[in-house]
Structure 1
Amino acid sequence: MSLSATPYLDTTPATPELGVTRLSPQPMYAQIRNELRARILDGRYTPHERLPSENELIALFGVSRITVRQALGDLQREGLLFKVHGKGTYVSKPKTSQELAQLEGFAEAMGKRGFETFNRVVSQRELAADDKVAHHLQLPIGTQVIEIRRVRFLNREPISLDISYFPHAIGKRLCAADLANRDIFALLENELGIALGRAELEIGAMLADDTLAGLLQVAEGAPILRMERLTYGADGQPIDYEYLHYRADAFQYRLRVNRDAERNTQEHNFPGDVE
């Protein structure tokens, strides 16, 4: 029987501690887990900081060792803590995640979870479409397109470099918009009046070169999640071809899949998909 499934009856005298009380119907280990989780997520315990020792937590919360270990075990399984043998328990760098089952902008997705986001425009320029960009945007090779490069920030830390290509008429209007504070998807829909349809995604991995390392504040050679995304309007025309480079130490994608292929297709169609 799992310890986390069956509350341990802790008879150790408790000391008053914000958020933890024996008057609550919730088990003590769960209250301590929730309190420590809150301290990690709001920054009172910072990434890679050593957590108080088991003895210190026992004294802090006035509980037994097994109760503390239950709480720490849950947080370790959540990925919020990691242990270093002989040295103690440390705070992991939490990874933010984005669901892929719906087509939405980064700021839109993160805003729902209460995160602060903004962008730094690295460059915006007009250039001739190479064969790959032209193929995806369904344009003749050499057609003038607009390239926009932005570093995306999450809670004031750089999280990704986005390199986006647009047909010339769309891109020129985006360049005049507020790219620092608004999602391109939101601008396309609300400012340009272009309804979004679906997107095709490919996800891979790469190592940060010196440019990515500098922009994302990671070491050269650090792991990077790389997404290639082609977004279509509701009319089926491609409007946005881009490369998204996310710090693998701070970001992950999530997607629920079913065993049944038909159900998978129905649940994960993007808005605007045509059956």
Structure 2
Amino acid sequence: MANQKLVRSVPLNAQLQDILKSRIRDGIYPPESNFPSEKELVNEFNISRATVRSALAVLETEGHIVRRHGVGTYVSKLSVIKNPINRVMEFSELISSGGYKPGVHVYQACVVEADDILESGLSIERGSEIVRLHKMFTADDIPAIIVSTSIPSWVLGESYSEVIEHPEITEPLFDFLENKCGERIEKMVASVWPDRIQNSG
């Protein structure tokens, strides 16, 4: 692994985050492997421990690493799941591409009115009726992705009532929309953000 130097004109913690994320994506730090210690990173990049801690805190919050007190830091098992940005890809396919067994739990379908964001994103009138599906995708039975999908009611056609009562029929979503609704997905607009699931058990 070639030594990488940080540029002092750019925030050091941001540079370190990018380098470490790149190493995780490239498999230099494989899933569930030991992650370099704070001391090792301080010595490698010649930066302060505070800078290293700041970068690692972000990586932990985003789910790239797991820190266990008294044990050490490890690369997250789910850190290799990634999506080619120029492809429309089902979430189950996305999880499979990372080498995991996908699963999905469709736990709610509800009817809402389109707000400003949906009006712009779906090119529909504000207040239009929307069916919103809430799903959780798992990787090797571990919760990995929580999805909220908004579909204009008119798209569902005759399947509308069935979707409300049995939202699980919408998986795989692209197949459902094409085969049951006659709508082929060619473009997808998504907002993605990292979060952490707090274990209350």
5 Å-filtered alignment, 1:170-249, equals 170-171=155-156, 172=160, 174-175=163-164, 179=168, 182-201=171-190, 203=192, 205=193, 208=195, 217-218=197-198
**TM superposition shift of 1:124:** 0.7
Normalising by structure 1, we get a TM-score of: 0.41
RMSD: 3.7
Aligned residue for 2:129? 144
Q: Which has the higher strand share?
A: 1
Distance 1:113 1:75 in 2: 12
**TM superposition shift of 1:189:** 2.4
**Aligned in 2, Cα 1:97/1:105: closer, same or farther, shift over 3 Å?**
same
2:109 to 111, 114, 124: 124
Percent identity reads: 14
Distance 1:176 1:192 in 2: 17
**Aligned in 2, Cα 1:105/1:92: closer, same or farther, shift over 3 Å?**
same
Distance 1:178 1:164 in 2: 11
Contact between 1:105 and 1:186, CA under 8 Å: does it hold in 2? no
Contact between 1:83 and 1:89, CA under 8 Å: does it hold in 2? no
Distance 1:142 1:89 in 2: 51
**Aligned in 2, Cα 1:139/1:98: closer, same or farther, shift over 3 Å?**
closer
SS state at 2:131 partner: strand
Distance 2:129 2:71 in 1: 57
**TM superposition shift of 1:100:** 2.0
**One-letter amino acid matched to 1:106:** F
**One-letter amino acid matched to 1:164:** T
Decide which moves more: 90-99 or 172-181: 172-181
5 Å-filtered alignment, 1:66-81, equals 77-78=29-30, 80-81=33-34
Normalising by structure 2, we get a TM-score of: 0.53
**Aligned in 2, Cα 1:89/1:181: closer, same or farther, shift over 3 Å?**
farther
Q: Which has the higher helix share?
A: 2
Q: Deviations over 1:215-252 (max 9, x none)?
A: xx3369xxxxxxxxxxxxxxxxxxxxxxxxxxxxxxxx
Contact between 2:106 and 2:167, CA under 8 Å: does it hold in 1? no
SS state at 1:82 partner: coil
Aligned residues: 140
2:108 aligned with 1:92, yes or no? no
SS state at 1:139 partner: coil
Q: Deviations over 1:26-53 (max 9, x none)?
A: xxxxxxxxxxxxxxxxxxxxxxxxxxxx
Distance 1:130 1:89 in 2: 45
**Aligned in 2, Cα 1:111/1:181: closer, same or farther, shift over 3 Å?**
farther
2:35 aligned with 1:82, yes or no? yes
Aligned residue for 1:44? none
Aligned residue for 2:18? none
5 Å-filtered alignment, 1:100-119, equals 100-119=85-104
